[in-house]
A and B are shown apart, each in its own frame.
Chain A
Amino acid sequence: MPLINVREALRKAMDEEMERDPSVILMGEEVAQYNGAYKVSQGLLEKYGPERVIDTPISEEGFTGIGIGASMVGLRPIIEWMTCNFSIQAMDQVINNAAKMKYMSGGQFSIPVVFRGPNGPAEYLAAQHSQALQSIYTHVPGLKVCAPSTPYDAKGLLKTAIRDDNPVIFLEAELMYSHKGEVPDEEYLIPFGQAAKRTEGKDVTVVGFSQTMRVVEEAVEGLSTQGIEVDLIDLRTLRPLDEEAVYSSVKKTNRLVVVDESWPVASVGSWLSWKVSKDCFDWLDAPTELVSMEDIPMPYNHTLELATQPSVEKIQAAVKKVLYI
């Protein structure tokens, strides 16, 4: 199977869908002439022309709103946010229009739009440009949220997102674009709401998603050399959330560590922890541990920046805590 990186996988997904369906368009800052700020859209302008691959001014609220409007009248826009930090500018459009239009129009309008871009910290980007906003978007009813961690999932989920008739927030990560993985040439789709089991283990359930899975997998490998077998779940989509995959694992291992790189208060991770505490109460042998971003703005200093994020050490410590060792 060909080994490609996340950047190429996303590009292939968009390319295939644009070729399949002429109503799919791509719009965003520097997606056309410059081939994308992170080169995800490389070659698409050349192939599909300026009517379908459109450069926008630096105005997130404007082009996000245009994308929503276009989706109401028959197009399937992919809106690229240069980073999710900038999407904060467009949050009124996303939360008030995209998420609610179907509901408030009594089902008359569908909003088949995808908002995609890098989310979460990269390096040396400081407080305003290192934010992991999955919890904010997952909070909103009416939105679907994808957070893949591999090239295979990135491609399969993005194709599903483009075909979905609802607004989808598609979370990528700057450091993830160059991560490589096997992706078949033939077409496939990955349905929403299906988590992936990365390793089978009987001792403890660890749940992660998106770019943090790299760190989680390293932690899990280290634990396996110490004889600790982790049942590792990659959520892949945050809304819909595959609770059943987590529940069945927790019922087997009786303990859970959730890794979510957003801030801990009112986050995807704390939501999942509550769900488990409620629905798996009688199966828990230890309180669930949450490994998250520290509850502070991201420091610029690199040592502090690393110390603020979930790390191999933090995850391993959490696993040992729920195992009482």
Chain B
Amino acid sequence: MAEEVVMLALSPTMESGTIVKWHKKEGDSIETGQILCEVETDKATMEYESVNEGTLLKIMVKEGEEASVGQTIAIAGEEGEDISAFADKSAEQPADLSAEEPVEVAEVKEEISEEKKEETVSVGEKLPKGVKASPLARKLALEKSVDLKAVTGSGPGGRIIRKDIETARAKPEGFVTVPEGTTKAVSVGTATVSAGIVRVQAQKTEDEEIPVSQKRRVIAQRLSESKFTAPHYYLTTVVAVDDLVMARKQLNKKREDKISLNAFLIKLTAEALRRNPMVNSSFRGDTIIKFGRADIALAVAQPDGLITPVVRDCWNRGIIDIDEELKSLIEKALSNKLKPVEYSDSTFTISNLGSFGIHEFTAIVNPPNSAILAVGEIKREPVADEDDTVVFKSNMHITLSCDHRVVDGAIGARFLKDLKEFMESPIKALY
């Protein structure tokens, strides 16, 4: 039976490769393990070893041409076999997983597809297409965060089976053994001096290798993608929050359930977004979505990662309402009970590390947003007033990270100026 020889993922991130050189020509006999061709991947030029036996009947992708992973590059089989059935195969491209739909449709549709996409990523069920693996192997690969594309299958037709996942776990690629001594230096023990060299006799601490969880994988992927593709710049300003603190105190005076400062921040941010809609947007390549809603996410730390539950529709809601939803979302986040719909599809994000005593910091834009606000602690600071008299103010340092593809410096600055005004004098948000 003639079989298709398909382009394999020769590196974990490879999506397509260019055939640099064919080592076999049509009619040559081939054996398993023999080099068929050399392929230039995204990383290096790799040798493609044959998994087929028999005769190389036809080369479909010539030297210098590119083939996607899963695309037929040649036909192998018995000598003289009829391969007319495969004639048009080379034209067929495998379905492109990551392909974005050309954005021509209305904004609403685009938002829906975005939501779907995010959910798929967050539940982590996206499996590589064109990879043959037993159901068990797929499940184990997900659990153990093994990239199936990087595993060579030992089953029939290159099927990845349980054994392959287990050996992939045993010998992880790219795992660097920390040289002796490095760990020793870390922990302090009894130091002895001999021949002028300080030897540290320490208890040996074993390096721990932790499998990357699906959540960690998603965090890594999304934040790397954001930081590497969205050109970030940062705007910092100092806000005197005495009036805001006072306003919160007054509101909370008659309440048992105290409204959090974050609820105020979210509401005032929503008002600043209303006046600066470009900050409340998303870059989509050919188009920019200006969101018709202010769905503000708040970064919440979990023991095993980070999640951003979203308070919806902040333009049309009061602070108490926002606070109630926020509290319920945070509670769910801490007990890992958030549904994808509750932590995806935000339009803006706030990260507040004030409670850790962080003075100020810069955050990474949370896609599909175009900006994120990093909030530091409230600190009493000496400030010169109009008469150059030093007075003490309750100051908060806030930093806006912007995606420069959408939010230009002046736009980001105007937003921050508005937000600063609202925080310093909350009544202005009502103007």
Contacts and interface: CB of A to CB of B under 8 A. Distances in A.
Interface of A: 254, 281-286, 324
A281 B201 CA distance: 53
A286 B139 contact: no
Given A284-B134, A285-B161, A285-B162, A324 B154 contact: yes
Contact of A324 (B135, B138, B139, B161): B161
B136 A324 contact: no
A320 to B, nearest CB: 12
B155 interface: yes
A272 B161 CA distance: 23
A286 to B, nearest CB: 6
B137 interface: yes
Interface centre among A254, A281, A285 (most CB of B within 10 A): A285
A7 B138 CA distance: 49
Q: Which 10 A-B pairs have the closest CB atoms?
A: A285-B136, A282-B139, A285-B162, A285-B134, A281-B135, A284-B135, A282-B135, A254-B136, A285-B161, A324-B155
Contacts of B136: 254, 282-285
Contacts of A282: 135-136, 138-139
Contacts of A283: 135-136, 139
Question: Which of B136, B155, B162 has the most A CB atoms < 10 Å from its CB?
Answer: B136
Contacts of A284: 134-136
A281 B136 CA distance: 7
Interface centre among B135, B155, B156, B161 (most CB of A within 10 A): B135
A274 to B, nearest CB: 14
Given A286-B134, A286-B155, A324-B155, A254 B139 contact: no
Interface in B117-165: 134-139, 154-156, 161-163
A46 to B, nearest CB: 59
A181 B156 CA distance: 42
Nearest to B138: A282
A281 to B, nearest CB: 5
A285 B160 CA distance: 9
Contacts, number: 27
Contacts of A281: 135
8 contacts: A282-B135, A282-B139, A283-B135, A283-B136, A284-B136, A285-B162, A286-B134, A324-B155
Contacts of B155: 286, 324
Nearest to A251: B136
B312 to A, nearest CB: 35
Given A254-B162, A285-B137, 5 more contacts: A281-B135, A282-B135, A284-B134, A284-B136, A324-B163
Contacts of B163: 324
A284 B163 CA distance: 12
A77 to B, nearest CB: 47
Contacts of B134: 284-286
Nearest to B139: A282
Contacts of A324: 154-156, 161, 163
A6 B36 CA distance: 62
Contacts of A286: 134, 155, 161
A281 B156 CA distance: 19
A285 B141 CA distance: 12
A284 B139 CA distance: 10
Contacts of B135: 281-285
Nearest to B134: A285
Contacts of B137: 285
A120 B156 CA distance: 34
Contacts of B139: 282-283
A93 to B, nearest CB: 44
A275 to B, nearest CB: 15
Nearest to B154: A324
A182 to B, nearest CB: 38
Contacts of B156: 324
B156 to A, nearest CB: 8
Nearest to B155: A324
A159 B137 CA distance: 45
A45 to B, nearest CB: 57
Contacts of B154: 324
Nearest to A321: B156
Nearest to A254: B136
Interface string B26-47: 0000000000000000000000
A286 B162 CA distance: 9
B380 to A, nearest CB: 58
B158 to A, nearest CB: 12
Nearest to A284: B135
Interface in B238-260: none
A127 to B, nearest CB: 33
A254 B166 CA distance: 14
B136 to A, nearest CB: 4
Interface string B165-188: 000000000000000000000000
A281 B139 CA distance: 10
Interface string B309-341: 000000000000000000000000000000000
A110 B163 CA distance: 53
B32 to A, nearest CB: 15
B288 to A, nearest CB: 41
A324 B163 CA distance: 10
A285 B139 CA distance: 10
Nearest to A324: B155
A144 to B, nearest CB: 32
A231 to B, nearest CB: 16
B144 to A, nearest CB: 14
Nearest to B165: A285
Nearest to B162: A285
A282 B135 CA distance: 5
A286 B161 CA distance: 8
Nearest to B137: A285
A254 B136 CA distance: 7
A133 B220 CA distance: 58
Nearest to A286: B134
A51 B135 CA distance: 60
B51 to A, nearest CB: 15
A11 B154 CA distance: 53
A208 to B, nearest CB: 23
A113 B161 CA distance: 49
Contacts of A285: 134-137, 161-162
A254 B138 CA distance: 13
A283 B161 CA distance: 11
A143 to B, nearest CB: 33
A287 to B, nearest CB: 8
